[in-house]
Amino acid sequence: MSTIDILNFYLDLRYDIRKNTNTKKTGSEEQMATAIMKQKGIPEMDDVEEIISKISEDSPYKRRPTQKRTWMTVPEMGKLLGLKKTDRYWLVHKNVFESKEIAGKIRINIASFEKWYANQIKYHKVTGEKPGKELKSWSYSVKEVADLLGVDEYLVYDLLKKNQMEAVIVDYWKRIPKESFQNWYKNQSRYRTKEDRRKRRSSGRCNNYDA
């Protein structure tokens, strides 16, 4: 007997019990129906909600999980970044993320947008999610390198000018790949990070550059 058959039998049985006994006690009605079902060898279904749940699970028309969106509108993007209308379309036309016309409207590919957001630091979501997650994983800002070395930023710019370290431009700002910094650092001895200087001082191996 299918789940739907059990449900129909159970409801018909309760109706007949109520009609023949004129009982107004729902509890007694359910107990009598359950007892009769047990006598007839029908699987117990004490809770009608459970039966309905089983029907929903087996139904070919049950609600399917909502598919993940792949495109968003320009106004949605602008609202997410807190941009006014002109700034929204200016950003779209910079082609920093994928966009295309769908049904006469410009749509922005969400995955492409998120990739761009993780590799820039100029724009910030109103949700509070920080930008540049991927960018910061492989590069330093000039200020970050200056802080690491305990020097002024102008000195870092001077090192870049002398091509002692490589740099890339992101949103008109120079970024120093971490690999480039590490290669430069291990091939010179004049500059030490604040952490390395602390270790040298604690070991008694301090020199003029560690002061």
pLDDT score for 211: 45
Within 10 A of 36 (CB to CB), how many other CB atoms are there? 16
CA distances from 139 to 37, 43, 102 (A): 71, 65, 36
Tell me the three state secondary structure of residue 188: coil
pLDDT score for 10: 63
- Spatial CA neighbour of 76 closest among 107, 52, 100, 50: 107
Average pLDDT for consecutive 10-residue bins of the chain (211 residues)? 63 66 56 62 53 62 74 95 95 95 92 96 94 95 94 94 90 92 93 87 62 45
Is 193 in contact with 148 (CB distance < 8 Å)?
A: yes
pLDDT score for 53: 63
Element (H, E) at 170: strand 168-170
pTM: 0.60
Q: What are phi and psi of 46, to 5 degrees?
A: -70, -30
Q: Can you read off the two tokens belonging to residue 156?
A: 């870092």
CA distances from 138 to 113, 121, 133, 149 (A): 19, 14, 9, 18
